[in-house]
Amino acid sequence: MSQLKELFNEGMWKNNPALVQLLGLCPLLAVTSTVTNAMGLGLATLMVLVGSNVTISAVRNWVPKDIRIPVFVMIIAAFVTIIQLLMNAYTFGLYQSLGIFIPLIVTNCAIIGRAEAFASKNPVHLSAFDGLMMGAGFMVVLLVLGAMREVIGQGTLFDGADLLLGPWAAVLRIEIFSFDNQFLLAILPPGAFLGLGLLIAAKNVIDAQIKAKQVAPPEAEKGPRARVTSLT
């Protein structure tokens, strides 16, 4: 159980692909102009990540070490193709608005990174959970950044959610404020860089505060120190 908890922590916070590893920044910066786009790409990446992690973990003992990277890339590409065809079939509007960034999931370093660093060394169930958590961590950052940019840029939230979730979702659109002029910078790529920078800064501030709180207690216990050989 603690292993799962550790994986959860790693993916969502400590080793978050977007905020700490800074992987997959190309789609992160390019498609987060609205929450809907962010959610679409986040879900697609999540599914690819889980699928590729499971498959790679299942075949890890049969893949020769020397050619593992091409094999991993082919597995990832297969999953991306599946996702792309699915999105083309069921969420065509979103498929069009995400455009090239769906096939580009293949090149998302977060996916190949997890395949190499985790799935190729761990059993299937752990790899699946790792893929889920890493994907979720990536998606959360996408969503937060998308929400920031959409609110600042055009004053709405969930604009165009019906493209992803079907016609009923049109009611999700929230108009927070209306303004004659869009704040274009937030929607354009520089806004994504500024937004991501602010998010990383916020994470570092929170980490620093947590650290400052944690440093205090251990000073109290100063008993005789037994030497324990490293467990890992």
Partner 1 sequence: MKLTMASSPHNHSHKSLNKLMLTVILACIPGLIAQLVFFGTGVLIQLILALLTVSVAEAAIMRIRKRPALTALSDGSAWLTAVLLALSIPPLAPWWIIVIGCLFAIIIVKQLYGGLGFNLFNPAMAAYVLLLISFPVQMTAWLPTADLLAKPISFTQQLSVIFNGYTTAGFSVDQLRVGIDGMTMATPLDTVKTDVAHGLTITESMQSPLFNQWLGKGWGWVNLGFLLGGLYLIKTNVINWHIPVSFIATLAICSGIGYLVAPGTEPGVVFHLFSGATMLGAFFIATDPVSAATTNRGRLVYGALIGLLIYLIRTFGGFPDAVAFSVLLLNMAVPLIDYYTQPRTYGHGMKK
Interaction between residue 178 and partner 1 (CB under 8 A) = no
Q: How many CA atoms lie within 13 A of 37 on its CB side?
A: 22
- Selected from 183, 199, 200, 203, the binder of partner 1 by CB under 8 A is 183
Of 53, 16, 14, nearest in space to 143 by CA = 16
Chain centre to alpha carbon of residue 25:
10
In terms of CB distance, is 117 or 198 closer to partner 1? 198
Question: Whose Cβ is closer to partner 1: residue 61's or residue 178's?
Answer: 178
Cα 159 to chain centroid, rounded: 21
Query: Is 176 an interacting residue with respect to partner 1 (CB under 8 A)?
Result: no
Q: Is 188 in the site for partner 1 (CB under 8 A)?
A: yes
> Which amino acid, 84?
Q
Q: For partner 1, which is the closer residue by CB, 201 or 208? A: 201
Contact 117, 53 (CB under 8 A): no
- Distance in Å from the first CA to the final CA of the chain: 17
Among 117, 185, 205, 206, binds partner 1 (CB under 8 A): 185
Minimum Å distance from CB 127 to partner 1?
A: 39
The binding site for partner 1 (CB under 8 A) comprises: 181-186, 188, 190, 194, 201
